[in-house]
Every structure is written in structure tokens, then in C-alpha cells.
Amino acid sequence: MSTQPIGAQPLGDPRKPSRANVARRQAADYVVSGLAILATVVVLAPLAAILFYLVYKGASSLNVAFFTRIPAPVGEEGGGMANAIVGSGIILALASLMGIPIGIAAGVYLSEFGRGRFLGNAIRFTADVLNGVPSIVMGIAIYSLVVKPQQHYSAFAGGIALAIMMIPTVTRTTEEMLATVPHAVREAALGLGVPKWRTAISISLRTASPGIITGCMLAFARVAGETAPLLFTAFGNQFWSFNLNQPIAALPLQIFVYAIAPYDEWHRLAWAGALVLIALIMVSVTLVRIFANRGMLKGGS
């Protein structure tokens, strides 16, 4: 029975925050939101500045000849980087074909079968170590293991170097994305009599595919602009070459050669090549994200 006197005003709800608390919380919300926006601007501003500077320095040098001709001889104006663009595509395709399947397979093993096992811990430790190895060390290692025994540089050796650099990123991303798949999904499949390996491939891997695709894109973008490993493996080529067992041109290599040269014409082409390299990476990553969001890379679900 209430003890409040008859006619007295009802007391306020003690759980209801006061105006001062509400104002303080709103102020804290505005401050934190402002700091988050500021941090985003600080991160994006250098990237935007680099992109705009590349456009400023390299856009004027882009023409039909740049995409259709090979480099001109020393002392002559003109020429292009058509062979380097094609060569980069070949090397990156080789690296993706070798590195992505191995990385995904290793990630599936770590998440689905290797938890708590010695082999799983060894693979995880190796992936973490490889993720921090400098790219030039990777190039020297592949030179010693592949190039030197064959006694010649090759596109295949360059693909191996970039593939090894892709594997750790793909492996760790795959493991982390598979860890986000609810255990109830796996238990439902196992309860229906689906083998564990089939559950990992058809259920877990398919459910986590958007995150895995993102990890593959990150790995691809990381190695697309690498120069040091290719100096010791692909070596470069001033002419057209489609033989995987021979030296081949690549955009990062051609940009490096032109950038350190004493010719203004080559410097101009180096800026154009850097702009094209960034554009190719952005376009490829954007296309994959579009296809992934539309379900084309998730089984069309």
C-alpha cells in the first residue's frame, strides 16, 4: 500500500537520467564521433594525396602508344609499357593460381581439423613468420632455390616468389573467417550425416566466402606492386615474352628501371606506369567486391 500523501505530486522515476546526464552523454557522443571522423580523414588524406599526385604527374603521359608499344631504345622518345602490363598480368595470375588455393587449404585445416595439434600450431607459426619476412629476402630465397639451379630467370620463378608472399595472408584470413561461422551450422550438417570434410567445404567455406575473398584481395593487392622479389626472379624484359620459362617484363620492374634512369622521358613514363599499376589494382579489387556482393562468388545464393 502506497505511503505517499493524498494530493502530493508523484515522485520522478529514479532510473530516468537527469538532463545533466543526458547532456553529458550527448556531448561525449559528439566528441567521440568527431574523433572517429577525424581519424578517418587522417588515414584517407595521404592516400587521396598520393592518388591525386599520381594523376597529376602521370595522366598527361597516358596515350595509345603507352598501352600498345614496348619500351623505346635509349635516346628515343615515345614507346610504352604494353609488354610490362601483360607481364604483370601473367606473373600475378601464376601467383594467384599457386598461392590462393594453398592458402585457403591451409586456413581450412587450421580452423576445422588442426586445432590443438602440433602440425596446426606449426603451420600457424610459419604463416605468421612468413607474413613478416621482407620481400627482398623472399626474392633472394627463390633465386637460390629456383633461379640458380635452372641457371636463368623466368616468369615462373617470379610467380612462385609472389605466391609464397600471398599464402600467409590468405591462410590467416581464411582461418579467422571460418572461426566466425556458428558451430550450430556445422552441427546441423554433421547431424544429417554429412562427412566432416564435406561440411568444411560445402558449409563452412561457403558461409565464410565473403571474408575469404576479401583476404585474397588484400594478398593480391600486397604483391601486385612488389619489385624486389621480381628483380631476383623475373628480372625484366624489354621485349614481348609469353614464355613462362624465360625472363619477362613487369610493371613494377619497368617503373623501377625508368625511375632511376637519368632521362626525363623515362621519368615521365615511370609516373604513367605507377598510375596504371594503381588503377589496375583498384579496378580488380572493385570488380571482385561487386561480384562478391551480388552473390556471384558465393554460389549464387
| pLDDT tens digits, one per residue of 201-260 | 888 888 888 888 888 988 998 899 899 999 999 998 989 999 999 999 999 999 999 999
Rounded to an integer, the average pLDDT of 21-49 is: 91
Q: d(Cα 79, Cα 265) in Å, to the nearest integer?
A: 10
Cell of 56: 597529376
pLDDT of residue 17: 67
Q: Residue 122 corresponds to which amino acid? A: A
Average pLDDT over residues 135-145: 94
> Please, what are the domains in the chain?
85-250 (1.10.3720.10)
Give mean pLDDT, residues 31-45.
Answer: 94
Contact (CB, 8 A) for 215 and 169:
yes
Weakest mean pLDDT among 4-13, 23-32, 93-102, 106-115: 4-13
pLDDT top residue among 93 and 203: 93
DSSP, res 113: I
Q: Report the predicted TM-score, pTM, of the whole model to 2 decimal places.
A: 0.82
CA distance 182 to 186: 7
Is the pLDDT reported for residue 13 higher than 80? Answer: no
291 — pLDDT class (breaks 50, 70, 90): low
User: Percentage of the chain surpassing pLDDT 90?
Assistant: 48
pLDDT at 203: 85
CB atoms within 10 A of CB 97: 12
Residue 2's SS3 state is: coil
Residues 6 or more apart whose CB falls under 8 angstroms from that of 66 comprise: 80, 81, 82, 269, 272, 276
Please give the mean pLDDT across all residues of the chain.
86
- Residue 7 is predicted with a pLDDT of 52
In angstroms, what CA-CA distances link 119 with 13, 39, 122, 265?
60, 41, 5, 54
In the prediction, which pLDDT does 301 show?
Answer: 43
Q: Which amino acid is at 169?
A: T
- Non-local (6+) Cβ contacts of 264 within 8 A are none
- Tell me what pLDDT residue 300 has: 43
In tens, the pLDDT along 52-66 reads: 999 999 898 888 989
Least confident span in 21-25, 157-161, 167-171, 269-273: 21-25
Round to whole Å and give the CA distance between 191 and 195: 10
- 129-136: average pLDDT: 90
- Give counts: helices (H), strands (E), the chain: 14, 0
